[in-house]
Chains A and B, each alone.
Chain A
Amino acid sequence: MTTAHAHPSPAASAPGSGTPSWRLLTILSLSGALAGGLIVSAYRATLPPIEAHRAARVEAAIREVLKLPARWDTLYLDRGALTKRLPDGANPKAVERVFLGFDSNGNPVGAAITAGRPGFADIINLIFGLDPTSGTLLGMKVLTSKETPGLGDKIYRDSGFVRQFRGAVAPLKGVKDVSGRSQSEVAVITGATISSRTVIRIINEATARWQPLLQAYRAKATP
């Protein structure tokens, strides 16, 4: 550090130091630019595997909630109707979509729908399979959630809770004890009431929104 200073340091700079402002600015700007460059290159290098992982996770989830369909179509939401073609000029990542699965004979088995809303901690995102004609659920899988370990995370760790969604009929009703009188009853988890009721609410809201769209799509496809 240089001590040769003709004038006393201005109040803004640290006493007893002689680094000129231009040098501080240059060093900070250079290191900022360097750090920015490094971060952007790391981002670019890791983006393809990260996107591949995400796509693989969604694909595995679709297979699971539609009970291993032979194939599926991606249906995009365009001006209040579902269509197989991506709307012109739309960003493929921003358009809402559902996945319509078919069995090996080409008959539709149901649609996989992703949806989310805030749970006990942060947003719960899930995917579920729905038979749009009957409103019967084929399965449910939580994609992302930050629910409390040991309690709220039972919405995906507790296989008994998850299994209930297979064959249940939407709109679902969260109950403490299943009476067996209705196929819409889902037993909520003790100690994770908010998380499990949120799952039910997500499915009910998404069903109410997508079921009519899916029915309209099917009516148009098979006149």
Chain B
Amino acid sequence: MAAAPAASLEDLTRGLWRENPVLVQMLGLCPTLAVTNSVANGIAMGVATLFVLLGSNVLVASLRTVIPKEVRITSYILIIATFVTTADFTLEALVPRIHAALGPFVALIVVNCIILGRAEAFASRVSVRRAALDAIGMGTGFTMVLLMMSGVREVLGSGTLLGMALFGGRFEPWVIMVLPPGGFLTLGIFLLLLAWRAERRQRVQEA
């Protein structure tokens, strides 16, 4: 691992693109597929996950010498579940409409692999500062993918963006895009484009 000063920027940017939790690590696919049928839902889910990720990473990093190895997963889950439950109540108190739209998926942030994965693989081994930067980077990377997915799906599937009609009355929405298959299609196309780009880059390097 690199020295601390160089590591900070790297900690922050890694999650955005190069090690993006969804597009590269393939984590957190359940909410990525399930709640991206509208941009508002995508933003709310991204921000809620970022909050939980930041809270749990910071707490796991600061307690890393206290939590015994044997019960670390139990402790992480407990920390994560506490943050998720708090986020669930807070969202319902502050933005009841979005809370209703996200349905059970706020509570299901508990089982989002990104959060437990970052706690176990990163936050439990580094300083609080690095864990916090990592959480911000990963959380932002996750939110970014949710925005991209929900943007494509809402525009094509409902003909709207953030609820505003885009095409006038003649547009026939591709209903499938806001249904579960649309999530798989959109994510599949994103991954296909990324793989194609990586392959082409490799070929250029070889030539």
Chain A positions near chain B (C-beta within 8 angstroms) = 1, 13-14, 17, 19, 23-24, 27-28, 31-32, 35, 38-39, 42-43, 45-46, 49-50, 53, 57, 144, 146, 148-151
Contacts and interface: CB of A to CB of B under 8 A. Distances in A.
A42 B179 contact: no
Contacts of A31: 75, 78-79
Nearest to A1: B69
A151 B68 contact: no
B67 A38 contact: no
Given A28-B75, A150-B37, 20 more contacts: A13-B70, A14-B70, A17-B69, A19-B68, A24-B70, A27-B66, A28-B71, A35-B78, A39-B82, A42-B85, A42-B90, A45-B89, A46-B90, A49-B94, A53-B92, A53-B93, A149-B37, A149-B179, A150-B157, A150-B175
B179 A35 contact: no
A39 B87 CA distance: 10
Nearest to A14: B70
Given A43-B89, A146-B103, A50 B96 contact: yes
Contact of A151 (B67, B71, B93, B179): B179
Nearest to B177: A150
B29 interface: no
B143 interface: no
B68 A27 contact: yes
18 contacts: A17-B69, A19-B69, A19-B70, A27-B68, A28-B75, A35-B78, A38-B86, A39-B85, A45-B89, A49-B93, A50-B96, A53-B92, A53-B93, A144-B100, A149-B37, A149-B179, A150-B157, A150-B173
Nearest to B96: A53
Contacts of A150: 37, 157-158, 173, 175, 178-179
Contacts of B85: 39, 42
B71 A27 contact: yes
B205 interface: no
B74 A28 contact: yes
A144 B100 CA distance: 8
